[in-house]
Structure 1
């Protein structure tokens, strides 16, 4: 149990690890910022120690590529940072202070850990952003807590229900300790036992989800692989075919689990999906449905297609070459994308997850804001430039220390041994990677970035396609452009301008009432029928949507004064209905909600609203005349 901190405390002959030369400067900063003295009392000492410990931890985590989020390691970092902020508040520190804390850690430990200096701008940026975001969380929580205090006092109680405090914590991220502190100031309290019980339940749900995500199926695969008594040797870097034997096999839930002494099939890992292919022997053949990774070993899930596969018999294992090539294109393109993003956006960009399959690539990366159109275009252009330049792609096995010295990037959270596999795109990037790749970037052929979205807090997601899939994406876009140009009756090169003019015209029409709309309202008003002293309009009209239909009914009613207006229209295969009834008509028993509900049944839909105005929709616009006729009968029945 003698770690670096304890050893330093012994060697330096100080009373605690917080008095060592690498922790005391952080304590000193806490004193400078708060104006309070370390050791003055238990609460102050405790708060400053937490501040120092958490400040160091969060600085190293961000330097390693972790960013605050609501998932996995990002959630751990967020909790550490927010606890540090809470302790700063307890010490009376006003204003942002996390950036200064990170800078002090970098000063103290930067010689031994150079990344703390090279990544300092990124570290300080994330610290400032999280502190600012948590300030908003605290402000919102304090407003919600004030409302809770008011309701509790109005009820004549001095106890706040545990589920209310838990909701503040779980839904809004408001610290429970701060909730208790603020409640105490108001003479209120909350049951700790009840809150702890709710927390335990939440943890059980989380553990259950974690257990389900692992699944008992993989445990069976692990047991099968271990019972086989040998480890499969992956030969898929060198070849996509192998003459081997069926080393072990057993049935599992409709599939066959199998192990081969030599396997050309890549096992899913590092974001890359497993290979597809076939295993054939004299007695039968099977399709490879999946390849499970079991540490450095693997096991195949097979779907039997013909005959049987027998243990010990010779077999021919063949990888689906087209799928492998497509996956290789996408995997190398992922490395290029990562490099282009870091070049364009900054070195704070780190991989936060990925999917590499034959169909597409998906890349999650740390970044706090949406990429601009210019960023997207620049990143795509840079990747395409590297493809055209045909950079050689090499994979070498080396020591981890040597790979790090060469600047190879490691995926945070992955476990690496002393020996690692480094994939180098010459002149572009070096990454620790066990996946399969093309021999040169030119083999990717084409790269097209299809979407850029948010994946999680402070994590963006890019999807892209390469090779034939990229060509198909461009073909589909070209066909869409050709179709749009045909509809607008302009050359393809003028389609964007024509659409822009059309959109401008639509916005202009939306801003002001059209003359034709006024004329239509006047025409409907002129055709109104007098029923027992009230003007009634019930017709099927043409309108671009439900909103315009309601606006038209308003104009007709304004023109007529005391009136009942029921209109219907068909839009894109749907029926829309609106009833607009004056207060005088409501007093005589005509209610808009009753009218549209009855009419909506005729067109196979439903709706409702107030007595004076109601709307409805239906799936059968052909029956609109029948629906309007039934509405007219209801109005007449109410008035006569």
Structure 2
């Protein structure tokens, strides 16, 4: 019996609810807490990262969710394959210090057979073969548990770290994994094909991650530290399961995508291009969900990612002859298809439509001129960094779009380094001014001051007896690193604390005039003679300045709420400056304030 995407989602979540898991709604695509490794949520475990690290208390030990995800790594593959997507839904069950490998394997096997109707003879699994650099051997426990549920040893395949060791980023929670594959038969491949290889016969549909470690990077290589409690993080791609359950060859034929593909066929006035239709279908979904979660098109960070997918979609739609504004029509179709499961799309419909129309109108004003210039350049068989920079700076062509069009025309672009230099020079000109700083260099200096990061205790204490770990000069400033620090570092638009360093007898040693952040580390910027490394000091925050800054921080939240009440729910924070004596609040809005 064919299952719809909605039925697949509910079947999975209901199964784990009955198994004692707390059902959690999807978190936003915009990470709720500071995480320097990602701009957008890329996996089901990202919103739960604090739980796995033991720094936040989970609402329950066992959780299940269907998480909205976006991965930039697949943007250029979308349209070229039958399965690559940027935006997708990831079903998952999570155990935070509860059941481990045995429980995860037994439940996955039960749901695959009883819930999704797979023939046990068609399921193969892969396990981690071990890795010398990580100091880990083969996952014998996982092999034993798979054999215990009935998977014969010949259908359990050992795979390397590249295939069967999962991590959300270069640092953070990670561990060996075991993947479930569907054997689709010899009509899709050869008798000697195996899961984990480059073939179409075996289709991976579920990844069980045995979260055991927190990974850190050092000059000597990765270092794994055991997590407070072994945990489970699994991911089952809803769209991949829909392809299997609905018996189609590509994800773009499944029930979530078919209406978008048909819309493209109806709107196109030139020869139908399957690749263009796929790009439009995927990118319009990504656009709708990103705007629905408060992202707006811009030239920086996640706003740039949104702008890139929107402009790629606009270029493809124009190429197949879609006339007039079409992104709002695609967004409307996404909301109609997905709004019942994600009510935020319905709530943000007006905002989504306004940003979709505004970005399309803006880019189309320069698209024709930019395309003509690019056509002329490609006709001559040469595309240089200066040309690509002009297309970006004058006509709004993301470099990725320029590179992709050039490759389609057989003129590869090989001047990425020179283009980056031109972009860096432009950013330097834009940022030039009395407040400009070389942040990247400062971060290197901070990390070199000592191997151990500073322990921030400023939420609990404002006066701390501690030890100086390191001192250095950087761009005319004296940077000093403590073992423990009560000083809040500048970040997110909020200035760092100020205060003093004193000796044990109470005499003042130096004034603290700023605090510089380097990821989860920091250093004080001091005015005055620097205490010696190893010297004991008393670090004291200026309480009046901290309190005034806190008040202005609270005021930004009140202002945000007032703006949403007066102007509409589409208003989102886009930046801020929070200081003891003033605040500035940047926000998104599609027109002048009246």
Question: What corresponds to 1:203 in structure 2?
Answer: 420
Distance change in 2, residues 1:247/1:4 (3 Å): farther
Question: Is the CA contact 1:161–1:190 (under 8 Å) kept in the aligned structure 2?
Answer: no
Give the alignment partner of residue 32 of structure 1, picking from 258, 266, 281: 266
Aligned twin of 1:232? 455
CA apart distance, 1:52: 0.3
CA contact (8 A) 1:281 1:309 kept: no
Which residue in the other structure is 1:299 paired with? 523
Separation in 2, partners of 1:290, 1:86: 46
Cα distance in 2, alignment partners of residues 319 and 332 from structure 1: 19
Q: Is the 8 A contact 2:487 2:541 kept in 1?
A: yes
Match of 1:340 among 554, 562, 580: 562
Name the counterpart of 2:148: none
State whether residues 267 and 274 of structure 1, in contact with CA within 8 Å, keep that contact through their aligned partners in structure 2: yes
Distance 1:190 1:27, change over 3 A: closer
**1:19 aligned onto 2:246:** no
* Corresponding residue of 1:478: none
Displacement after TM superposition at 1:119 (Å)? 0.8
Q: Partners in 1 of 2:449 and 2:379 — Cα distance? A: 60
CA deviation after TM superposition for structure 1 residue 350, in Å: 0.8
1:61 is aligned to 2:290: yes
Scaled by the length of structure 2, the TM-score of the pair is: 0.51
Matches within 5 A, 1:181-196: 192-193=411-412, 196=413
Tell me how far apart the structure 2 counterparts of residues 139 and 159 of structure 1 sit (CA, whole Å).
19
Displacement of 1:294 in angstroms is 4.2
> Quick one: distance in 2 between partners of 1:169 and 1:249?
43
Residue 103 of structure 1 deviates from its aligned partner by: 1.1
Name the CA shift for 1:98/1:292 in 2 (closer, same or farther; >3 Å).
same
Aligned to 1:246, the other structure's residue is in SS state: strand
**Is 1:10 matched with 2:252?**
no
Name the SS for the 1:116 alignment partner: helix
For the Cα contact (< 8 Å) 1:96–1:131, is it kept in 2?
A: yes
User: Equivalents in 2 of 1:316, 1:179: separation in Å?
Assistant: 56
Q: Distance in 1 between matches of 2:333 and 2:470?
A: 58
The 5-angstrom pairing of residues 107-126 of structure 1 reads 107-126=336-355
Q: Does 1:216 align with 2:438?
A: no
Structure 1 residue 358: Cα displacement: 2.0
Contact 2:468/2:531 (<8 A) preserved = no
Go from structure 1 to structure 2 and tell me whether the alpha carbon gap of 1:304 and 1:91 turns closer, same or farther (over 3 Å shift): same
Q: CA separation in 2, counterparts of 1:364 and 1:324?
A: 22
Partners of 2:282 and 2:242 in 1: how far apart? 15
Aligned match of 2:276: 47
Q: Shift in Å at residue 221 of structure 1?
A: 0.8
Contact 2:382 2:411 in 1 (8 A): no
Report how far residue 123 of structure 1 moved.
0.3
Q: Which residue of 2 aligns with 1:83?
A: 312
Contact map agreement 1:162 1:191 (CA 8 A) in 2: no
For residues 50-75 of structure 1, give each alpha carbon's deviation from its aligned partner in whole angstroms, at most 9, with x where no partner exists. Answer: 11011111111111211122333223
Correspondence for 2:489 among 258, 267, 285 = 267
Q: What's the CA shift for 1:8?
A: 2.9
Residues 145, 179 of structure 1: 8 Å contact kept: no
> How far did 1:310 drift?
5.3
Q: Name the structure with the higher helix share.
A: 1
What does residue range 240-319 of structure 1 map to in structure 2 within 5 Å?
Answer: 240=462, 242-253=463-474, 256-282=478-504, 285-305=509-529, 308-309=531-532, 311-313=534-536, 315-319=537-541
**1:499-578 equivalent positions in 2, closer than 5 A:** none
> What corresponds to 1:104 in structure 2?
333
Structure 2 unaligned spans of 5+: 1-203, 206-236, 429-436
Counterpart CA distance in 1 for 2:373 and 2:259 is: 37
Contact 1:169/1:175 (<8 A) preserved = yes
The residue matched to 2:576 in structure 1 has which SS? strand
Change (3 A) 1:337 1:120: same
> 1:140 Cα shift?
4.9
Contact 1:122 1:348 in 2 (8 A): yes
CA distance in 1, matches of 2:586, 2:481: 33
| TM-score when normalising by structure 1 | 0.48
Instruction: Note closer, same or farther for the CA distance 1:6–1:277 as it changes in structure 2 (3 Å cut).
Output: same
Superposed CA deviations along residues 34-92 of structure 1, whole A, max 9, x for unmatched, are 278xxxx8x61111101101111111111121112233322322221122122222222
From the CA coordinates, give the structure whose radius of gyration is larger.
Answer: 1
Shift of 1:320: 2.1
CA distance in 2 between counterparts of 1:245 and 1:145 reads 62
8 Å contact 2:447–2:521 — kept in the other structure?
no
1:481-496 alignment to 2 at 5 Å? none
Cα distance in structure 1, aligned partners of 2:402 and 2:547? 57
Cα distance in 2 between the residues matched to 1:289 and 1:20:
58
Work out whether residues 246 and 309 of structure 1, in 8 Å CA contact, stay in contact via their aligned partners in 2.
Answer: no
Relative to 1, partners in 2 of residues 1:266 and 1:60: Cα closer, same or farther, differing over 3 Å? same
Report Cα offsets for 1:190-227 as digits up to 9, x if no partner.
Answer: 9935xx245552134446888996422212212435x1
Mean Cα displacement is larger for which, 296-305 or 120-129?
Answer: 296-305
TM-aligned CA distance change 1:28 to 1:205, over 3 Å:
same
Quote the Cα distance in structure 1 between the aligned partners of 2:261 and 2:294: 26
Distance 1:168 1:245, change over 3 A: closer
CA contact (8 A) 1:244 1:261 kept: no
SS in 1 for 2:487: coil
Change (3 A) 1:86 1:268: same
User: 3-state SS of the aligned residue for 2:298?
Assistant: coil
Please list every run of 5 or more consecutive structure 1 residues that lacks an aligned counterpart in the other structure: 184-188, 373-640
Q: How far is the alpha carbon of 1:105 from its aligned partner?
A: 1.1
Which residue number in structure 2 is paired with residue 555 of structure 1? none
In the aligned structure 2, how far is the partner of 1:238 from the partner of 1:276?
A: 17
CA shift, 1:274, in A, is 0.4
Count of aligned residue pairs for this structure pair: 346
Q: Decide whether aligned partners of structure 1 residues 257 and 169 sit closer, same or farther in structure 2, where only a CA change above 3 A counts.
A: closer
Query: In structure 2, how many angstroms separate the alpha carbons of the residues matched to 1:16 and 1:141?
Result: 34
- DSSP-derived class of the 1:370 partner: coil
Contact 2:515 2:524 in 1 (8 A): yes
Distance 1:220 1:161 in 2: 42
